[in-house]
């Protein structure tokens, strides 16, 4: 079985993307390969990332901000789904995937943030976990029928 590849995209790949990548990889039981990237990568991860992930059984090992350009290279993993974790319209950049990846937008942050405090980071991670958990098992999380964005890819039990 070929694993579905999901790319989480955010502004700087310092907080939202790495949290989503690590958490989905941990809870998906190998059903997917998750990656993350930023339009303008930060120099380092937000300091809250390792602590938040550790508290939920995931590791920050190997995570670091990287550019979305990495995934536009010829030999890079091609995403089947690209999830924008925040409004990226202000960057004015269109990402064109050669494989016509499906795109989803999750409203994790309603306004731009800088140097997120640990409380803001924890709130963002709670929202990311809720979205990921809904993907993995929609019935357990209140969905009467499978309406989450990845259902058509067979990612549910």
Tens digits of per-residue pLDDT, 7-17?
A: 999 999 999 99
Residue 70, classed as helix, strand or coil, is helix
Provide the whole-model pTM. Answer: 0.86
What is 4-153's CATH topology? Rossmann fold (3.40.50)
Give tens-digit pLDDT for 82-118: 999 987 776 677 777 767 788 888 888 866 666 678 8
Tell me the pLDDT tens digit for each residue of 13-33.
999 999 999 999 999 888 899
Terminal C-alpha separation, the chain: 15
The residues spanned by each domain of the chain are 4-153
pLDDT tens-digit readout, 58-89: 999 999 999 999 998 888 888 999 999 987 77
């Amino acid at each position: 079985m070929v694993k579905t590849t999901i790319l989480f995209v955010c502004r700087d790949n310092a907080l939202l993307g790495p949290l989503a990548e690590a958490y989905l990889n941990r809870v998906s039981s190998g059903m997917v390969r998750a990656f993350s990237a930023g339009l303008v990568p930060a120099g380092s991860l937000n300091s809250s990332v390792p602590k938040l992930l550790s508290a939920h059984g995931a590791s920050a090992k190997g995570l670091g901000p990287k550019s979305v350009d990495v995934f536009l290279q010829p030999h890079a993993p091609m995403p089947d789904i690209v999830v924008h974790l925040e409004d990226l319209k202000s960057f004015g950049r269109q990402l064109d995937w050669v494989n016509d990846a499906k795109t989803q937008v999750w409203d994790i942050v309603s306004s731009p943030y800088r140097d997120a405090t640990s409380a803001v980071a924890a709130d963002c991670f709670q929202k990311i976990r809720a979205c990921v958990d809904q993907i993995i098992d929609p019935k357990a999380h209140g969905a009467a029928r499978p309406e989450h964005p990845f259902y058509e890819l067979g990612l549910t039990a």
